[in-house]
Amino acid sequence: MLEATDVRWRKSSFSGRDGDCVELAALPGGTIAVRNSNDPDAGAVLFARAELAAWIKGCRDGEFDDLI
């Protein structure tokens, strides 16, 4: 498990008080970690940069709008 002191976590400016809080951290080797900032001890999901870039592009293009 990642320790908080091992990486610099960045919280989304869109994180709110309703439990919709997310943080990301760049890890050594280029992997990106994503976690719930309300429960950081629950672990993180790891993405390759290309995977996260594809997901962000899909969000920007509205591909997942039907899920919210």
Q: What is the pLDDT of residues 19-50, one digit of tens each?
A: 778 899 999 889 999 998 888 899 999 999 99
Cα torsion angle, 37, 41, 60, 49, sign: positive
Contact 8, 20 (CB under 8 A): no
- Is 59 within the bounds of a domain? yes
- Is 40 within the bounds of a domain? yes
Domain limits for position 18? 10-67
pLDDT at 3: 55
Residue with the bigger pLDDT between 1 and 8: it is: 8
- Is 2 within the bounds of a domain? no
- Is 41 within the bounds of a domain? yes
- Is 3 within the bounds of a domain? no
Overall number of domains in the chain? 1
Which candidate, 19, 36, 35, places its Cα nearest to that of 27? 35
Beta strands (DSSP E) in the chain are 10-11, 22-26, 32-36, 45-47
Model confidence at 1: pLDDT above 60:
no
Residue with the bigger pLDDT between 2 and 56: it is: 56
- Is 48 within the bounds of a domain? yes
- Is 4 within the bounds of a domain? no
